Amino acid sequence: MSDANLRHAEVAIIGAGPAGMAAASRLAEAGQRPVVFDLAPSPGGQIYRQLSAPQVGEEVMGRDYLRGRALLERFENARLDYRPGSRAWWAQREGQGTTLGVLAGGRSELWQAKRLIVAGGAMERGWPFPGWQLPGVMQAGAGQILLKQGGLVPDAPPVLVGTGPLLYLLAWQYLRAGCPPRLILDAAPRSRYAELLRRPRATWHAGHYLLKGLGMLSALRRAGVTVKHGLEAIEAEGGERLEAVRYRLGGRWQRVGASLLLTHFGVVPEPQLCRGLGLAHDWHDGQQAFVPRRDAGSLAAEPGVWLAGDGAGIGGALNAEREGHLAALAILAAEDEVVAHEAAPIHRARRRDMRARALLEALFRVPEGWLAAQPETTLVCRCEGVSLGEINAAMAQGAAGPGQLKAFTRCGMGPCQGRLCGESVTRLLAGHLGTTPEAVGTYQVRPPLQSITLGELAVSSVPPEISRSLRS
């Protein structure tokens, strides 16, 4: 690769959510000028999406959304190189640096970063059930994006299904916007609240989260929204689009008409970039997902690479902001800046918050046997239309790993590149083989890490070896 084709950055940051904004702002305040690549058209990430020009106010979104204004203003006033609408579609570790293929404006450029902070955030977990591919069935996060970005609410009361704080937050926001949900079906049983007594210290640290959730739940009940716990199974019914939701509680099937079903089964670290960099991952039993391995103190995954925010393990917006700050301080410390006094209180606050996070993981744990119990016609890979029955048949024929299953069935070969079905495949293989998700692993990620057209590839600076592999 010719050095003339490379652009250089002392520090590159991928993502401009809470972690990326905090890291970039602190580095800029120290006199550095980081380059920030952001997929979105404006900073904020998912949690603070559209905060620079809010479409709905605090009365609907709540205080936590507007709390990000101070961080956003700090980022916008910092002297840095912010590049919105940029997709990091290729990444490779080279010596002590990282080379990135970044697509923006229809053209890809090659960047070499001496130091890299990955702050790519999280994504909602893919959780298959019959009919989840129907129009009218969406993830709750998509519903919240429409609310934040366009001030849009459903035409008719939706049904919300799943487990996790976002489920109740979105329901409360819809209520405040004048469109209360018709029904909330929570997959976690009421018995989960015994965790509050079993973990008194964590309950103490999580007090503010619990009080906020209790307030939302009370408001929903006062408004007449039905909340049912212990969901055992769910099916979306319809021809051309969603017409009804069929669900099982206490062994009994029930049915409710609906034109919109919003599901949420937790969030997981966005996997593509860290796996594309070849970073080691471990199965986190509390988060029920793979998380990239990093040093607990410095947040470094490898020399010259730091991981911050939910992309390195789910911790929430405040934790992401703290980790972005800490990653910046780790870079400054490596350059002999005296920052230990600044880092110590941030580490303490982070440890307290992560104790609370462990309790939330226990309260909103997704059902372990859900996937294997689905009908065999259930699509596991929506991109390629691969059913649970086809995956079971491939495993019976000897597919003993994610790569083999992909070759046998094309599961994971579609536009999402296995983001949504990867965890499902790992869970199914672990159950079939009688082993752990850690032992099974997941798909091997290859470029492109983000979608790129042949036209964009043709006019881009791309290493020959990557170009050949994409065209083959």
Query: Per residue in 259-316, pLDDT tens?
Result: 999 999 999 999 999 999 999 999 999 999 999 999 999 999 999 999 999 999 999 9
Q: Which is more confidently placed, 471 or 116?
A: 116
**Other residues' Cβ atoms within 10 Å of the Cβ of residue 408:** 17
Which residue, 341, 298, 347, is CA-closest to 319? 347
Please report, to the nearest 10 degrees, the dihedral formed by the alpha carbons of residues 146, 456, 443, 296 taken in order: -70
Write out the CATH class of domain 126-265: alpha beta
CA atoms within 13 A on the CB side of 194: 5
The confidence score (pLDDT) of residue 142 equals: 96
Q: Does domain 3-123+268-335 have CATH number 3.30.70.980?
A: no
Fold classification of 371-440 (topology level):
Arc Repressor Mutant, subunit A (1.10.10)
- The beta strands (E) that lie in 333-384 are given as 379-381
pLDDT classification of 1: cutoffs 50, 70, 90: very low
Looking at beta carbons, which pairs linking 203-209 to residues 24 or more positions away fall under 8 Å? 203/359, 205/352, 205/353, 205/355, 205/356, 205/359, 206/355, 206/356, 206/357, 206/359, 206/360, 209/165, 209/356, 209/360
Three-state SS annotation for 197-231? HHCHHHHHHCHHHHHHHHHHHHHHHHCCCEEEECC
The verdict on whether omega for the bond into residue 448 sits within 30 degrees of 0, i.e. cis, is: yes
Q: Do domains 3-123+268-335 and 126-265 have the same CATH topology?
A: yes
The confidence score (pLDDT) of residue 88 equals: 94
User: What mean pLDDT comes out for the span 68-85?
Assistant: 96
Query: Token pair 């704080």 is at which residue?
Result: 165
Query: What are the backbone angles phi and psi of residue 160, rounded to the nearest 5°?
Result: -110, 135
The confidence score (pLDDT) of residue 457 equals: 75
User: What mean pLDDT comes out for the span 124-150?
Assistant: 96
Q: pLDDT tens-digit profile of 348-402?
A: 999 988 888 889 999 999 988 899 999 999 999 999 999 999 999 999 999 999 9
User: What mean pLDDT comes out for the span 171-182?
Assistant: 96
Checking if the pLDDT of 466 tops 70, the result is no
Q: pLDDT tens-digit profile of 225-274?
A: 999 999 999 999 999 999 999 999 999 999 999 999 999 999 999 999 99
Domain ranges in the chain?
A: 3-123+268-335, 126-265, 371-440
CB 412 within 8 A of CB 425: yes
The confidence score (pLDDT) of residue 470 equals: 56
Average per-residue pLDDT for the chain:
92
Q: pLDDT tens-digit profile of 188-217?
A: 888 888 888 888 888 988 888 899 999 999
The confidence score (pLDDT) of residue 469 equals: 54
Checking if the pLDDT of 152 tops 70, the result is yes
Query: Which residue(s) pair with 402 in the sheet?
Result: none
pLDDT classification of 462: cutoffs 50, 70, 90: low
The confidence score (pLDDT) of residue 191 equals: 85
User: What mean pLDDT comes out for the span 162-182?
Assistant: 96
